[in-house]
Chains A and B, each alone.
Chain A
């Protein structure tokens, strides 16, 4: 089926029944955009599987899973598989995470066509990505590779979200290119437009250039920016060690390696909703960076490289 054919697909009566509670929120037009969308999620850790779950339940057209990291015996026994809750407990050893997740993802919603993308980002180019409506990168990639992929997506005109969690913290970055959306206030619907910045520009900041409202505590900003830097740096693990003393994590045991399930669920829920905004073109998206602090249990929006997101 070609992309053009998919565009023709109306929302069926069966879908209206199943999606009743969300169509009442974003309308039939929003649902139609979702059902005609094709999503690629890279990375099936806790964060990635939460995003996949949310978008599959919402009824996207196609869901393509990419993660060639192995689910091995040790992962199963030590349960250090990154909190992916799709994989079966036994019998999936030595499969990669994407294929181990396939059946469970499909079970969530038979309306969605779920596929596995073999391999990983390193062997993908524009040819692979060009038919997607949205690509979600929910895995830590080396900086060069991250910039290569987001560069390709920009070039191909494909909206994308990049995110990760670290201990009690989570981070998400939206690049929805030239994004149009409608906003309904007091029963009046307005059309609006935002121009997003590419990741390559967003990471090109200096700490002093970023303006934050006064009430943001300076140290909080430092943590946020350091995490951001850590995220895109090549030696994430080493840098992450610096944050081990961050508040809140001690509640969750001594091992900081891997994902804390509710943190993945919160950041995956927030990013999942951003993905739905990107596709459904309803409500204002986060412009352009989201930072979640699991100790304080809040999530704020900030604009990188500089500026106040309120100004859009």
Chain B
């Protein structure tokens, strides 16, 4: 066996993630002879990991991935080799994992499965100027690339697709696809058995803009916002009462909003009645076989979840929790039936609800080993010999594993540009319109600036925002009081032309935000109006000459070393679907309908 010389083997390596790629990667690093590893993973082991995460076995289910991975991989060390593995079961977002902390490592190897954490590590790596090897797999496919400040594109140079989002009113009022009913069912589960947040509303939405001018004024019943969680508990989660509330009364409320059903091609829902389906105990059920079957599934799912809720307290949604899955499948399929939407099998519902991405041992093994090769090249000061590598299910242009040189950097990247800048268009003045109780326009508050823009869109962890040297939003928890957070942007002096500075101390990341006040944003997809829109730095503006040079050098390299007819951008594109997070809630209020 060949292994690396001591000068390489003794470098400190940080591995972020001990899952599919992480397990394979740790094995490669140990077999190659590396001596000083740190591995971080928050997650615990699930049965569905065992088809590929080979450092884990059945008896490890429920235990920490990082700790078990360490225990298992140490068995592979060569006799006489003193290997140190610092395994931590925690989140990479913790403040202790700061830029100075990152600087102790010679290289960072990401083995993550979600965009948020990748964005965060990307920033830490750029700020600390430590090379980062990025990787991902999805089914048969996979990719790996190297991120080095000033030399390569950073992880955020290209737009990464986030999970698809759905407007709240489609979920609550007018579902037309199975996924709409599945998202609704997930929310219902949280409403009934968990600790829901106010973005997971399931009742009919009277603020639907399709109901312009308060057409639904007479339908007072559906305006009354009852607290579903409290109500369900008061009724002891009685399957019949719950059924009739969500599948009869709420549907009737929706039907009474007649404007909703005028749209061409939209099918009216039909309400269901528990007793009618089941018959009144005389065996003369009037429901179809399908209805009876879904009702029985509902009955069992509600009862099982109720037992758990009473025993263990609030439940949280998890795709690998069978009770939660059964409930979502039953509720989604009943709702699909009501709206005349194709019903899905439990298996498929799980995939859609959990946003499950297929994963296999072979693809993870190949990509993790590529990461190891990239790491050795970097540690040998051969970073220019690293590649963007992509694995396909079958050869394209004869290559099953294709490699190309770095793609071009994005000079307007909001993260790695010299002076990261974005422009945000939004209505800074919008306030709740109380003249019409049915049109409840959301006002855009400091809380929204913090959560929706700084955290969700700009991937900051604990943002501070300043305007003209004054802090308008602090990351200090003591300063985050509800009264201040409820203020609109105009109330704190932010308006058209304002220039804000947003900063994340941990990420050592600073960004300039130009605010453009607009009354109305252009339509998207013909119907959904966004609450705000973010665009990157304007072209060329801040591209300093040295950067421009690097870009053109990068471009030349890319052109001269294109593999087959496959430019790097295309390689990138193949992997577009790799970065979706499993389990992420897939409904948002960013879109008001």
Contact = CB atoms under 8 A, between A and B. Distances in A.
Interface string A74-95: 0011011111010011100000
A272 B140 CA distance: 12
B361 A54 contact: yes
Interface size class, chain A: 35 or more
Contact of A252 (B4, B76, B362): B4
B360 interface: yes
A266 B24 CA distance: 11
Given A269-B362, A283-B140, A309 B398 contact: yes
Interface in A227-272: 251-253, 255-263, 265-266, 268-270, 272
Contacts of A108: 54, 57
Interface stretch (B25-33, B216-224, B242-250, B264-272): B25-33
A294 B51 contact: no
A85 B76 contact: yes
Q: Interface SS of chain B: helix, strand, loop or mixed?
A: mixed
A215 B358 contact: no
A269 B368 CA distance: 10
Interface in B351-400: 351, 356-366, 368-370, 372-374, 376-377, 380, 382, 385, 387, 389, 393-395, 398-400
A24 B58 contact: no
B80 A77 contact: yes
Given A21-B52, A58-B361, A83 B139 contact: no
A58 B232 CA distance: 44
Contacts of B31: 46, 83, 85, 261
Contacts of A301: 395, 398-400
Nearest to A77: B79
A195 interface: no
Given A21-B356, A58-B51, A298-B563, A273 B79 contact: no
Interface stretch (A12-20, A119-127, A137-145): A12-20
B403 interface: yes
Contacts of A272: 361-362, 365
Contacts of B3: 79, 252-253
Interface residues of B, number: 63
Interface in A278-312: 283-286, 290, 292, 294-302, 309-310
A283 B399 CA distance: 15
Nearest to B58: A110
Contacts of B372: 261-262, 265
A22 B31 CA distance: 27
A71 to B, nearest CB: 12
B83 interface: no
B28 A298 contact: no
Given A24-B351, A213-B398, A301-B398, A255 B2 contact: yes
Contacts of A253: 2-5
A263 B364 CA distance: 14
Contacts of B564: 213, 215
A109 B395 CA distance: 30
Interface in B338-358: 351, 356-358
Given A79-B3, A251-B4, 11 more contacts: A18-B47, A89-B75, A256-B2, A258-B2, A260-B2, A265-B28, A273-B363, A295-B385, A297-B374, A297-B403, A298-B402
Interface of B: 1-5, 8, 24, 27-28, 31-32, 47-48, 50-52, 54, 57-58, 75-80, 139-140, 351, 356-366, 368-370, 372-374, 376-377, 380, 382, 385, 387, 389, 393-395, 398-403, 563-564
